[in-house]
A and B are shown apart, each in its own frame.
Chain A
Amino acid sequence: MRKSAIDVWVGIFVAIGLLAALFLALKVGNMNAVSFAPTYKISARFDNIGGLKPRAPVKSAGVVVGRIANISFDDKTYQATVVMTIEDSFKFPKDSSAKILTSGLLGEQYVNLEPGGSEDVLKNGSKIDITQSAIILEKVIGQFLFKSAEEKAQGDKKE
């Protein structure tokens, strides 16, 4: 009898551990983002990827349709090659364009796919030709300052 009582308590202990693991997987972690659905790979070249990282989401209309698989540097064109895995159930026209955007002001960066109008769809290994690089905040601020200084100089001349 004593032995079976111990077994019950150990069983309860292990069950609580499993419940905690389940809680971590479902509520704390992004279990939903880990999908084992079949995917296909497409690639795109960007002049500048900013702070894009592998496993960042690929979104279209704000919905996650895939993830960044791999980022590499091409020393022939001096561009970044970004490989994305897209879920098989989502098809995109061949002339879709890819943009690197930021969610919120300080949020993570992701790739946004904007569908084109072509009848053909992107397949495994296809390339996206129309891309827009990440917006680098320093560059934008630099351009803005330069422009306002120029305007001021012109205004001074007129006077």
Chain B
Amino acid sequence: MSIVLNTLAGLGAFVRENLIGLGYATRMFLAIMRRSAFLFKRPRLVTDQVHFVGNYSFVIIAVSGLFVGFVLGLQGYYTLNRYGSEQALGLLVALSLTRELGPVITALLFAGRAGTSLTAEIGLMKAGEQLTAMEMMAVDPLGRVIAPRLWAGIISMPILATIFTAVGVLGGYLVGVPLIGVDSGAFWSQMQGGVDLFSDIGNGLIKSMVFGVAVTFIALYQGYESKPTPEGVSQATTRTVVISSLSVLALDFLLTAMMFSN
């Protein structure tokens, strides 16, 4: 009997804790949004963070995009070749990159490359009581530290996803046309015939913006709420990667169902 009761109590505590966390996170997000207006007066704070999360992620994003494009070109060719329609290679590469792979892989890489360092940075600031010191000096850490990083993530993610997609299409072209020998004209014209500016490229961009908000906010929240100990920071960094990867994939399913279901 006591086992059942304990299990039930544990379940209830688990649900309650998660609900509290969700509510607290929502309140924190709104608080950050409210404090963001002053960033227009000090845009340099955001620029510095774009440099940190955006520029430093450029190389990993561009190189991954190139190789994903290569692989798509090869695999797509082998599959399409069976049905004698290898001219559609350009369309296959472009559609899969603009709709899915571009935003999703960029978000996963971004969570690993930029999200973790944001969590560790904020977590160490908290462990070193720098955030508390700021509050003592009447500087609001949510506005001064968190808000510029969140906006830098929201700005950088769509740019990085666009770069990933463009480099990926070029990679698919390099493998498909010069290496395998698909007709260059058919490659581009089929692509242009099938990829829609708004419903494919535009929706991909919207996806990457949503992912940017999700990944950056999760990273900052985990850092801000981490236990101020070395283990606490390391656990928070791990949680950042796990939670943001899962939520990117779940959000991707939701967004795809909403956007491409007609």
Contacts and interface: CB of A to CB of B under 8 A. Distances in A.
Contacts of B200: 29
B201 A28 contact: yes
Interface in A6-25: 6-7, 9-10, 13-14, 16-17, 19-21, 23-25
B163 A20 contact: yes
A149 to B, nearest CB: 31
A21 B160 CA distance: 10
A71 to B, nearest CB: 12
A14 B155 CA distance: 9
B220 to A, nearest CB: 20
Nearest to A15: B159
B197 A13 contact: no
Contacts of A30: 192-193, 195-197
A27 B188 contact: yes
A157 interface: no
Interface of A: 3, 6-7, 9-10, 13-14, 16-17, 19-21, 23-25, 27-34, 55, 106, 108
27 contacts: A3-B44, A6-B51, A9-B51, A10-B47, A10-B51, A13-B50, A13-B51, A13-B58, A13-B159, A14-B50, A16-B58, A16-B159, A17-B159, A17-B160, A17-B162, A20-B167, A21-B205, A23-B169, A24-B162, A27-B169, A27-B188, A28-B165, A28-B166, A28-B191, A29-B195, A30-B195, A34-B198
A23 to B, nearest CB: 5
B1 to A, nearest CB: 62
B159 A24 contact: no
Interface string B178-207: 000000000010011101111011000100
B197 A21 contact: no
Interface of B: 44, 47-48, 50-51, 54-55, 58, 85, 94, 98, 158-160, 162-163, 165-167, 169, 188, 191-193, 195-198, 200-201, 205
A13 B201 contact: no
B140 to A, nearest CB: 23
A13 B46 CA distance: 14
Nearest to A57: B193
Contact of B201 (A10, A29, A108): A29
Contacts of A14: 50, 159
B47 A24 contact: no
Contacts of B192: 27-30, 32-33
Contacts of A20: 159, 162-163, 165-167
A20 B205 CA distance: 12
Contacts of B48: 6
Contacts of B158: 17
B201 A7 contact: no
A68 to B, nearest CB: 14
Contacts of A108: 193
Nearest to A23: B166
Nearest to A20: B166
Contacts of B159: 13-14, 16-17, 20
Nearest to A17: B159
A31 B201 CA distance: 11
A122 to B, nearest CB: 27
A48 B47 CA distance: 57
Nearest to B91: A28
B166 A10 contact: no
Given A10-B54, A17-B158, A55-B196, 17 more contacts: A6-B47, A6-B48, A6-B51, A17-B162, A20-B163, A20-B166, A24-B165, A24-B166, A28-B165, A28-B166, A28-B195, A28-B201, A29-B196, A30-B192, A30-B196, A31-B197, A33-B192
